[in-house]
Homo-oligomer: A and B are copies of this chain.
Amino acid sequence: MPTAPDDERVALSAFGRRVRELRKELGLSQEELADRADLHRTYVGSIERGERNVALINIHRLAKALGVPPGDLL
């Protein structure tokens, strides 16, 4: 997202870092998390790198796969 303002890119990065953090706590690979959340492996990767402006439904899928309430990801 090259055109997004700074603070908005920061929000995406923070979200990605949080996902990665929780995933590692569970000892999962990106691929395993992707399978649990019914998402693509490379898509999860790009989310963790803060490159994606993830929408609500996928936030819920990730939260469920990570075993936390959705609000915990932001």
Chain A interfacial positions (CB closer than 8 Å to B) = 4, 8, 11-12, 15, 53-57, 59-60, 69-74
Chain B residues positioned under 8 Å from A4 (CB to CB): 57
Q: A-side binding surface: helix, strand, loop or mixed?
A: helix
Contacts of A53 in B (CB 8 A): 55-57
Complex: how many Å from CA A53 to CA B57? 6
Having A56-B59, A60-B74, one finds 9 other A-B pairs with CB under 8 Å, namely A8-B57, A11-B60, A11-B70, A12-B57, A15-B56, A53-B55, A53-B57, A70-B71, A71-B71
Contact of A56 with B57 in the complex, beta carbons under 8 Å: no
Most buried by B among A4, A8, A69, A72: A8
